[in-house]
Amino acid sequence: MDKLAYFDSSHDFPEEIAMAAGFTPYKILGDVKTPNDPADQYLQNFICPAARSFMTDALAHSGEWAGIVLAHGCDTTHRFYDIWKLHVKTPFLHFLNVPMNYERKSAAKFFKTEMKLLITRLEAKFGVKITDAKLKDAIKTSNEIKGKLQKLAAMRGEKDITNREYLELCVKSVQLPKADLLALLDKKLKEWAARPAFPDGKKKILLTGSDVTYPEWMDTLEEANLRVVRDDLSIGERCFATLIPDKADPLDAIIEYKAAMPRPATKNPPDPRLDFLLKELKDSDITTVVSQNLKFCEPYAFDSVYTMKALKAKGYKAIHLEREFSPTIDRQAVNRLEAFMEIGEKA
């Protein structure tokens, strides 16, 4: 078993620690096509459906993983830890507290202590030594992956690359062994470079909001002739928009990286999230934003009103949708998106 699985409501888990311990970090993403009945033995149906799917996944597959780390993001992460501790069988279960306010001095100190504790526990459990040199190697590999993903993501605006293809690649980037991933990314770089130009009839958009963990929702956007060419999602640009800096202490480098990456709605203050979106839009030729939140995903539902207002005030076309956790194309969403685009074009 070489996978160290993690449940992360954003991009809070430092994959490099798992890599330095000799594991493949494996992000638990559930399966939208599998009913949540196993998890629903323990949870009400108004709790985040994606998180319930992650639990269903863990109940079925934890035996294939060396252990599981839950990283603190939204409330669901820590509440689920307690439930997983009771019901998910695993030889190693760890909760990593992650700070909410990266700007504060206290946060960096705290996060470093938490990462050191994770390292100590991994070393004790698996008899490995996680040295600075191994962490630096892992950071180097992560940066190599990020660099390639940046190039691939940039092709979305130039070439004919479907929303599904992009998301499926991003999913692989948080689940595959890193050597296999690097080989795949090289292959995709060649393959995507040879693709036809960005198709006529498709509209370029920026996608923001809750993390999209399954390709069917990306198909919904495709059906509405919308192509995601920029985003700030955790299964997306949040993971690779910035590189991990080179610092003497690799944990300091990870802290600086986490503070600088595109901000999820689970952190404070919220303004850097909007600032990143506005910068993405300014740096590109995109004029349309699709924002969405998964049903019961509160952080993004809270932010949506202000975000929409701010984007519209800057002259961008923006729409916010709430989506179900469903493996089928959402026809109502397609209709709304088509109408939104038609109205925008007429205006």
Partner 1 sequence: MSEATQDTKKLLRVERLPAINSQLGKIIKNYLMKSKFMSSLPWKKTAWVTAGFPVELCYLFDIFPMHPENAACVAGTAKVSLKLIEYAESLGFSRDLCSYFKTNIGAVGKKVGIAQGAIGKPKFLASTNTICDTHVKWFQTQAREFKVPYFCFDIPVAVAGTDDARMEEYIDYVVDQFNEFIEFAGKITGKKFDENKFNTILQKSAKLSDLWQEIYEYRKLLPTPVSFQDTMAAIFPLVILPGLDIGISFYEALLKDIKERVAKNTGSLTKEQEKYRVLFEGIPMWYKIKFFHELANYGAIITYEPYTFSFGPKKKIGLPIDKQLRELARLIIDTPYNYAVEKRIKYFEKVIDDYKLDGIILHSNLSCRPSCTGMVDLKNAIQKDKGIPVWLMDCDMDDPRAYADEPMKNRMESFIELMASNKK
Determine which residue in the list 54, 95, 192, 257 makes contact with partner 1, applying CB under 8 A: 95
100 lies in the site for partner 1, by CB under 8 A: yes
Size of the site for partner 1 (CB under 8 A): 52
Q: Pick from 114, 212, 198: which is nearest to 159 by CA?
A: 198
Taking the complex as a whole, the smallest distance from the CB of residue 13 to partner 1 amounts, in Å, to 15
The rounded radius of gyration (Å) of the Cα atoms in the chain is 20
Q: For partner 1, which residue of 21, 293, 317, 340 counts as binding (CB under 8 A)?
A: 293
- Region near partner 1 per CB under 8 A, out of 101-109, 169-177, 197-205, 244-252: 101-109
CB of 153 to partner 1, least distance (A): 28
Q: Is 233 in the site for partner 1 (CB under 8 A)?
A: no
Pick from 299, 325, 330, 333: which binds partner 1 (CB under 8 A)?
299
Cα atoms in the Cβ-side hemisphere of radius 13 Å centred on 135: 20
The interface region with partner 1, picked from 99-107, 122-130, 135-143, 187-195 by CB under 8 A, is 99-107
Q: Who contacts 64 (Cβ-Cβ below 8 Å, separation ≥6)?
A: 1, 3
Among 1, 2, 60, 85, binds partner 1 (CB under 8 A): 85
Closest CA to 10 of 217, 266, 228: 266
Binding test (CB under 8 A) with partner 1, winner from 75, 160, 168, 223: 75
Instruction: State the minimum distance, in angstroms, from the CB of residue 199 to partner 1.
Output: 32
Our CB check for partner 1 shows the closer of 4 and 265 to be 265
User: At its nearest, how many Å lie between partner 1 and the CB of residue 281?
Assistant: 19
Q: Specify the residue, 9 or 162, whose C-beta has the smaller distance to partner 1.
A: 9
Does 197 bind partner 1 (CB under 8 A)? Our answer is no
Q: Are strands 226-231 and 3-8 parallel, antiparallel or unpaired?
A: unpaired
Binding marks (x or -) toward partner 1, 18..57, rule CB under 8 A? -----------------------xxxx-xxx---------
Interacting residue with partner 1 among 304, 318, 323, 340 (CB under 8 A): 304
Tell me the closest approach of the beta carbon of residue 75 to partner 1, in angstroms: 4
Alpha-carbon distance of 168 to 146, in angstroms, equals 16
Closer residue to partner 1 in complex, CB, 79/202: 79
Hey, CA dihedral for 160, 162, 163, 167, is it positive or negative? negative
**Encoding tokens for residue 35?**
């009913």
Contact between 44 and 267 under an 8 Å Cβ cutoff? The reply is no
Closest CA to 218 of 337, 339, 49, 304: 337
Strand arrangement of the beta sheet that strand 288-294 belongs to: 226-231, 203-209, 288-294, 317-323
Asked if residue 328 binds partner 1 (CB under 8 A), the reply is no
Cα distance between residue 39 and residue 83, in whole Å: 10
Q: What are phi and psi of 229, to 5 degrees?
A: -115, -15
Distances (CA, A) of 194 to 155, 188, 272, 300: 11, 10, 36, 37
Instruction: Name the E strands within the chain.
Output: 3-8, 24-27, 67-71, 93-96, 203-209, 226-231, 288-294, 317-323
CB 77 within 8 A of CB 71: yes
| Token code pair at residue 149 | 């993903």
User: Where in 106-145 is the site for partner 1 (CB under 8 A)?
Assistant: 106-107, 109-110, 113-114, 117
Q: Which of 35, 89, 101, 279 binds partner 1 (CB under 8 A)?
A: 101
Examine residue 90 and tell whether it contacts partner 1 (CB under 8 A).
Answer: no
Q: In terms of CB distance, is 137 or 298 closer to partner 1?
A: 298
- Contact residues for partner 1, defined by CB under 8 A: 41-44, 46-48, 72, 74-76, 78-83, 85-86, 95, 97, 99-101, 104-107, 109-110, 113-114, 117, 265-266, 268-270, 293, 295-296, 298-299, 301-306, 308, 320, 322
